[in-house]
Structure 1
Amino acid sequence: MKLLQAGPSPFVRKVLVTLHETGQIDQVEQVQVAASPVAPDPALIAANPVGKIPALVRPDGPTLYDSRVICRFLDARAEGGLYPESRVWDTLVLEATADGIMDAAVLIVYEERFRAREMVSMDWIEGQWGKAARALDALETRWMSHLAGRMDMGHIAVACALGYLDFRHDARKWRIGRPALAAWFEAFAERDSMKATDPTS
């Protein structure tokens, strides 16, 4: 299998952490592609018509894309138990919440990097950050009991989202007012899978 990836994408990191946690990292070739929203790599478009990463090219089936689809496939393939039936809906909602943070954080980067400076909308940027901030507040107030339990895909997704905020939006100081979430992340970030995929290393 080949994983098409680009730069420090938190969605790619989520897949890589999943590969590490399920013991499959050595079974996937990592292939760097260009994932610009305005000029995506032809190789990426051939695998995923939407032109977004990550995309998992399989020798025995169609390419999989969207990190949630890929992670669900990899977990099923390894029987990793990252989507436990006993709490699968909570796990999926938590993963979606984390992905929402990633989406908003990436869109802020795109707005600042790919739009002409005179066209950058600070209102739009703050609107995106508002989505992330509300999701962070929800994690702090509603989801800490879940995060304190056995690791599932929700944990991985949240950790990758928070790691991306540190990497790209450190000035936003997401830890302020969220001490429980900050303490949880500090501990989770010590996992070997997180260290091996740290974009700053």
Structure 2
Amino acid sequence: MHLLGSPASPFVRKARVVMAEAGIDDIPFVEVTASPLGGDDGLNAANPLGKIPALSREDGPTLYDSRVVTRFLDARYNAGLYPATRLWETLTLEATADGIMDAAVAITYEKRHRPEEMWFAPWLDGQWSKIARSLDAIERQWMSHLTGPLDMGQIAVGCALAYLDFRHGDRDWRADHPALAAWFATFADRPSMVATAP
């Protein structure tokens, strides 16, 4: 197996954090370039959508979409990151974090692939509104889950917040989310997060 991805992708980071937390060291990481304008031929051959992460396997088709890859890794290596006793909460929190990442990556792509005079401010603001609403919801409803035993929801939130700092540091997400900021200050120091920082 090989994990195809970019170190800068928050979705790839989710898979890499899972690997670090589960002690998985037998899956090589292969850097590829993903782009909404085309991307790497090798990646496109592995995943027709051209998205990362993608997990190539010798005994089956390539797996893709970060949630598919992380569920597969969790099941194969018995990592316990999708606990049955709180599965739906974990999946919902992961989906919320993935939505934050989707919106943040969309803003990044808009600014990277279009000339500044073509940036559509209402669309950019709309993407940030999704992020802000999601952060509000996590601060309001999910702090007790975040402080429980480690699971995939926590990993996804940690990767989402780290990506906001990495690509959108000019927007102060911490100002209105003090509890989440305090949680992230500790979570970001986990060895798995430090080892996978872009």
Q: Give 3-state SS (helix, strand or coil) of 2:170's partner.
A: helix
Aligned to 1:52: 51
Structure 1, residues 115-147: CA drift from partner, whole Å, max 9, x if none?
A: 233221011001000000100000100000111
Shift of 1:6: 1.9
One-letter code aligned to 1:9: S
Take 1:21 and 1:7, find their aligned partners in 2: how far apart are those partners? Answer: 17
TM-score by length of 2: 0.98
Shift of 1:69: 0.3
Aligned to 1:30: 29
Take 1:130 and 1:105, find their aligned partners in 2: how far apart are those partners? Answer: 10
Q: Give 3-state SS (helix, strand or coil) of 2:55's partner.
A: strand
Identity of aligned residues (%): 63
Aligned to 1:94: 93
Structure 1 runs not aligned, ≥5 long: none
Runs (4 or more) in structure 1 with deviation over 6 Å come to: none
Shift of 1:34: 1.3
Take 2:134 and 2:48, find their aligned partners in 1: how far apart are those partners? Answer: 29
Structure 1, residues 148-193: CA drift from partner, whole Å, max 9, x if none?
A: 1101000000000000000011111100021110010011111110
Aligned to 1:20: 20
Take 2:147 and 2:4, find their aligned partners in 1: how far apart are those partners? Answer: 32
RMSD of aligned Cα (Å): 0.8
User: Is the contact between residue 34 and residue 43 of structure 2 (CA under 8 Å) also seen in structure 1?
Assistant: yes
Shift of 1:7: 4.1
Counterparts in 2 of 1:1-201, with a 5 A limit?
1-24=1-24, 26-199=25-198
Shift of 1:39: 1.8
One-letter code aligned to 1:98: A
TM-score by length of 1: 0.97
Q: Give 3-state SS (helix, strand or coil) of 2:134's partner.
A: helix
Q: Give 3-state SS (helix, strand or coil) of 2:3's partner.
A: strand
User: Is the contact between residue 7 and residue 197 of structure 2 (CA under 8 Å) also seen in structure 1?
Assistant: no
Q: Give 3-state SS (helix, strand or coil) of 1:172's partner.
A: coil
Take 1:33 and 1:147, find their aligned partners in 2: how far apart are those partners? Answer: 32
Structure 2 runs not aligned, ≥5 long: none
Take 1:80 and 1:3, find their aligned partners in 2: how far apart are those partners? Answer: 17
Count of residues in correspondence between the two structures: 198
Take 1:30 and 1:120, find their aligned partners in 2: how far apart are those partners? Answer: 34
